[in-house]
Structures are given as C-alpha cells and as structure tokens.
Structure 1
Amino acid sequence: MADHTLPHNHGEHLNTELLIDNIAKTEDFQIVADLFKVLGDNSRVRIFWLLCHCEECVINISSMMDMSSPAVSHHLRQLKSYGLITSRREGKEVYYKSADTNQAQLLHHMIEQVIKITCPEA
C-alpha cells in the first residue's frame, strides 16, 4: 500500500494509513448504520431497555407499552434480527429478553447514561 498524504498537515501524529484502511470498510460501517436505523424508533429502544430488565411475553410487553400485540411483535422481530434480543418458547408462550452479548450490554448502558436512568432493583 502506498503512503497516503493528506492535503493539509495539521501536525497530528495519527496513523493515517490505518484510519484510511478502516474507513474504507464500508460494509462494516453499514452494519452499524443499519443498527442505528433500527434503534431510531422510540418504541424499539423502550422495548429493548425493558427486556434488559426482565423476560416477557408479547402480551405483557403490549400492556406495559400500551401498544397492540402486532405492533410489539413487529418491533421484537426487528430487534431480534439484529441480535439485540433472544426468545425462548415455553408451551404456546414465547418469552423475550435482551441478548447476552457485549453489544447488547453496551447499548443498555448507553441508553441509561444518555437519559440518566438507572436499572430498577430486582
């Protein structure tokens, strides 16, 4: 790879080549942009935060959110498709909770930091 010289030298001592290599990976950044699109809906963020604190079925989530079950199911599908939540079936009931991943935990903490709320006591 050839050295990349920037038009302006501001005196920083950054590893410009590494930065340029990383920002060229547009597919990786698209994944993040798509995730932020999913989180661009207030209801999905609220449902995700709720599921960080409890495991619930669609009916109970609907009641807590004051939303229809089909609307909640739509939001749950989107959150699940990005790996933010998981589900398990018990008989006819499906229960949802936040995924046990670093990404989900970081998002949970970020939400609480941004809106200055704390986890409810168990």
Structure 2
Amino acid sequence: MENKIDACKCNIIHEDVVKKAKNSLPEDEVLYDLAELFKVFGDSTRIKIICALFQDEMCVCDISSLLSVSQSAVSHQLRVLKNARLVKNRRDGKVIYYSLADDHVKKIFHQGLNHILE
C-alpha cells in the first residue's frame, strides 16, 4: 500500500500564517549550515564514533579497533566530524585524543535517537 501525502484541495493562501512562517525562517546561509550539519549525521560510521566518544576520549587506534575499521577511514571520519565542530582533539606526546566538542552533540544525538525510538 502506497503512502500518499494529502494535498490541499483549496486555493486559499492564509496570509497571516505564511507571513508568520516567513518571518520566523532563519537566513538562507544559516539554513544551509544547518543542513550541512545534519548531513554529517548521515553516516553510520560517524554515528558509531560519536557513540564511542560518549564514554571517553579516544585515539584513532582505539576507535579503529572498536569499529574494526582502518585507521585511515577513522581519521577521515574524524576530520569530517572535526570540521563540523562535533569533535575536538588534544595532543599528549605523539598521541592525539578525540572527544565530543560539547554537550550539544549529546543533546542532538539523544533527540534524534528518542525520535527514532518513539
């Protein structure tokens, strides 16, 4: 059975509602940045990395071992996460440790997870 979206069967524009919605829309550049942020969450490896970093900071070797993914692949995904400001890193000698950038990352993740589990 096909899911159909109900279409409006009238030609009346509710000007007050449209105006209110238009005034509440963020600038296009902000919406673009938000869309880019949500794209970062569109990869299961990155989601696994974020979940792992909920527990503690980890280095590339740790994450690679945990996920059974090459260090190169982990490094690439960490770079994407870092560019999106979802993770941060710190150096301790020759080892670079990664952690979640802030509590917003957990909140975004948990909101999405709660939505999926409803």
TM-score by length of 1: 0.75
Aligned position for 2:110: 109
Contact 1:58 1:73 in 2 (8 A): yes
Which of 14, 17, 38 is matched with 1:9 structurally?
Answer: 14
Q: How does 1:56-67 map to 2 (within 5 A)?
A: 56-67=58-69
Give the superposed CA RMSD: 2.4
Partner in structure 2 of residue 68 of structure 1: 70
Identity of aligned residues (%): 35
Count of residue pairs the alignment pairs up:
107
Measured in 2, the distance between the counterparts of 1:94 and 1:49 equals 18
Q: Which amino acid aligns with 2:22?
A: I
Gaps in structure 2 of 5+ consecutive residues = 1-11
Relative to its length, the structure with more helix (as a share) is 2
Separation in structure 1 between the aligned mates of residue 21 and residue 112 of structure 2, nearest angstrom? 28
Paired AA for residue 76 in structure 1: L
Structure 1: runs of 5+ lacking an equivalent: 1-6, 117-122
TM-superposed CA distance for 1:52, in Å, is 1.8
Distance 1:83 1:90, change over 3 A: same
Alignment of 1:37-52 (within 5 A): 37-52=39-54
Give, in whole Å, the separation in 2 of the partners of 1:88 and 1:111.
Answer: 28
Moved over 4 A (4+): none
SS of the aligned residue for 1:52 comes to helix
Secondary structure (helix, strand or coil) at the match of 1:89 reads: strand
CA distance in 2, matches of 1:36, 1:59: 26
1:106 Cα deviation after fit: 1.5
CA apart distance, 1:83: 0.9
* Deviation digits for residues 1-60 of structure 1 (CA, Å, limit 9, x no counterpart): xxxxxx5239xx75x434213436111111111111111111011111211221100001
Instruction: Indicate the residue corresponding to 2:31 in structure 1.
Output: 29
**2:101 aligned partner:** 99
